[in-house]
């Protein structure tokens, strides 16, 4: 059984999924799984998890880390059969898992569409599955689900009903996988929002405006007085992360800032729009890293995709080897300057105890892989600063 589980886990990983081991009896991950919401585990790590002595089941983490993977869980067969009768072609084509109680229907969702759906369901910035009366939607950050050939505590084995060959992008509403009840007041609010957007199109300019841009505006609104300037810069970073706007001339972004300012007025008071616009004009060229693409995010991405440094070969634990690579990439992002790194940050990124992270950083400094430039402290609330001195 362990060989079957290992081969399945490796197969999912080669598909581009982030998989983790599960204590099936407890219905809980067997490891700290938060780091693997950001990057997929290495195959060597999967070998360790699902080796010959392993009794773990397999779970997949949903969201961007697994290529936008989404699952609609039907916990009642009657609900699944009802959906199937209304959408027979989709039901026949979408990869589906038979569970002890019902079916899990798999597809993929684009990031902006998932955010839009979660917003309509009242959880735009939340994490985890969204519960319905007949099951759950697992889309976005903080969701995982057990996959074949794992065994349910009842003894039933999860199995693919439709072969998992293609996982197409699907509109979750048009496919009927979720149904969002219309609300008259919400509809009127949406109409007002659309009118607000249209008023922002100065002189009839055809600027791009979609749910991703609107979400960027709404999620950066200030929540209290005195934070307007900081919120404006956050708006700049968030808009910069949208590919169609990354290299946009700042003057074409004015309608977005006008819309943002209008929505922020209840919090910021009677500030004139020009104040927010001036802050945005100053902030836009200063954005070095767009939101989600800061030095740590870039370092993590390169750690996932580049060969480990030679120094990493001397260490056994996979997480320690990844720490060496992470430090190299942080140094690459910092150029000639040292980089900040705390034990707590290592804990959240690599899933190891912060005490272990502290011992590992001490080891890397002692063995010449890192140079400790300055020691952090709780009183200054600053992390230690290091310089990577290993090979590239």
As a whole number, mean pLDDT of residues 90-115 equals: 93
Same domain, 280 and 307: no
Identify the CA nearest to 332 among candidates 306, 351, 359. Answer: 306
pLDDT at residue 9, rounded to an integer:
95
pLDDT at residue 392, rounded to an integer:
82
As a whole number, mean pLDDT of residues 131-158 equals: 89
Strands in 370-374's sheet, in edge-to-edge order, are: 339-341, 384-388, 370-374
Per-residue confidence band for 21, with pLDDT thresholds at 50, 70 and 90:
very high
Per-residue confidence band for 334, with pLDDT thresholds at 50, 70 and 90:
confident
pLDDT at residue 295, rounded to an integer:
58
Same domain, 9 and 49: yes
Q: Is the pLDDT of residue 152 over 80?
A: yes
| Residue 173 located in a structural domain | no
Same domain, 154 and 53: yes
pLDDT at residue 288, rounded to an integer:
64
pLDDT at residue 279, rounded to an integer:
92
pLDDT at residue 219, rounded to an integer:
81
As a whole number, mean pLDDT of residues 217-230 equals: 85
Q: Is the pLDDT of residue 215 over 50?
A: yes
Same domain, 120 and 34: yes
pLDDT at residue 126, rounded to an integer:
67
Q: Angle, nearest 10°, between helix axes 211-219 and 111-120?
A: 60
Same domain, 321 and 353: yes
Same domain, 299 and 282: no
State what percent of residues in the chain have pLDDT above 90: 37
Q: Pick from 264, 286, 308: which residue ends a domain?
A: 286
Contacts for 266 with CB less than 8 Å, ≥ 6 apart: none
pLDDT at residue 315, rounded to an integer:
92
| Residue 333 located in a structural domain | yes
CATH number of the domain at 382, please: 1.10.10
Per-residue confidence band for 164, with pLDDT thresholds at 50, 70 and 90:
confident
Helix (H, G, I), strand (E, B) or coil at 33: coil
Residue with tokens 């839009």: 116
Q: Is the pLDDT of residue 127 over 80?
A: no
As a whole number, mean pLDDT of residues 145-155 equals: 90
pLDDT at residue 207, rounded to an integer:
55
Same domain, 29 and 132: yes
d(CA 57, CA 5): 7
Q: Is the pLDDT of residue 13 over 90?
A: yes
Same domain, 247 and 328: no
Same domain, 153 and 228: no
Which pLDDT tens digit goes with each residue over 260-299?
A: 998 888 888 767 889 999 999 998 888 765 555 455 666 7
Q: Is the pLDDT of residue 159 over 90?
A: yes
Q: Pick from 253, 286, 319: which residue ends a domain?
A: 286
Identify the CA nearest to 178 among candidates 326, 285, 72, 46. Answer: 72
Which domain range does residue 307 map to?
295-388
Structural domain tally of the chain?
Answer: 3
Q: Is the pLDDT of residue 196 over 70?
A: no
Same domain, 267 and 318: no
pLDDT at residue 323, rounded to an integer:
92
Per-residue confidence band for 237, with pLDDT thresholds at 50, 70 and 90:
confident
d(CA 12, CA 58): 10
State what percent of residues in the chain have pLDDT above 70: 86
Same domain, 21 and 117: yes
Per-residue confidence band for 329, with pLDDT thresholds at 50, 70 and 90:
confident
| Residue 169 located in a structural domain | no
What secondary structure letter does DSSP report for 39?
S
When the pLDDT of each residue in the chain is averaged and rounded to a whole number, the result is 83
As a whole number, mean pLDDT of residues 174-201 equals: 54
Region for residue 190 given its phi and psi (left: phi exceeds 0; alpha: psi -120 to 50; beta: otherwise)? alpha
Q: Out of 68-77, 85-94, 183-192, which region has the weakest mean confidence (pLDDT)?
A: 183-192
103-108/130-132 β-pairing: unpaired
Instruction: Return the top range by mean pLDDT from 44-53, 158-167, 168-177.
Output: 168-177
Residue 260: both structure tokens together = 């943002």
pLDDT at residue 188, rounded to an integer:
38
Higher pLDDT pick, 61 / 225: 61
């Amino acid at each position: 059984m362990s060989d079957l589980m290992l081969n399945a886990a490796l197969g999912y990983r080669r598909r581009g999924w982030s998989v983790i081991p599960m204590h099936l009896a407890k219905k809980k991950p067997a490891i700290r799984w938060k780091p693997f919401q950001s990057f997929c585990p290495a195959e060597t790590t999967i070998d360790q998890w699902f080796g010959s002595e392993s009794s773990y089941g397999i779970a997949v983490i949903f969201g961007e880390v697994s290529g936008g993977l989404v699952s609609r869980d039907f916990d009642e067969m009657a609900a699944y059969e009802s959906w199937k009768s209304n959408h027979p072609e989709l039901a026949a084509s979408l990869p589906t898992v038979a569970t002890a109680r019902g079916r899990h229907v798999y597809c993929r969702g684009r990031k902006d569409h998932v955010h839009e759906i979660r917003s309509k369901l009242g959880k735009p910035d939340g994490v985890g599955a969204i519960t319905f009366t007949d099951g759950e939607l697992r889309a976005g950050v903080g969701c995982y689900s057990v996959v074949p050939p794992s065994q349910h505590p009842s003894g039933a084995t999860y199995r693919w009903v439709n072969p998992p060959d293609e996982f197409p992008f699907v509109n979750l509403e048009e496919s009927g996988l979720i149904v969002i009840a219309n609300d008259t007041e919400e509809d009127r609010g949406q109409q007002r929002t659309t009118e607000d957007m249209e008023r922002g199109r100065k002189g009839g300019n055809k600027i791009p405006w979609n749910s991703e841009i609107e979400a960027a505006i709404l999620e950066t609104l200030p929540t209290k007085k005195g934070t307007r300037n900081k919120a404006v810069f956050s708006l700049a970073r968030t808009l910069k992360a949208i590919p169609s706007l990354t290299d946009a001339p700042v003057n074409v972004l004015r309608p977005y800032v006008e819309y943002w300012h209008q929505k922020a007025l209840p919090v910021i008071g009677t500030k004139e729009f020009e104040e927010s616009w001036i802050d945005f004009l100053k902030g836009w060229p200063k954005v070095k890293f767009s939101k989600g693409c800061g030095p740590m995010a870039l370092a993590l991405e390169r750690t996932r995709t580049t060969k480990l440094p030679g120094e990493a070969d001397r260490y056994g634990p996979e997480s320690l080897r990844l720490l060496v690579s992470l430090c190299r990439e942080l140094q690459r992002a910092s150029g000639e300057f040292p980089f900040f790194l705390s034990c707590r940050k290592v804990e959240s990124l690599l899933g190891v105890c912060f005490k272990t992270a502290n011992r590992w950083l001490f080891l890397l400094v002692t063995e010449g892989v890192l140079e400790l430039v300055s020691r952090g402290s709780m009183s200054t609330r600053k992390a230690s600063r290091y310089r990577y001195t290993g090979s590239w």
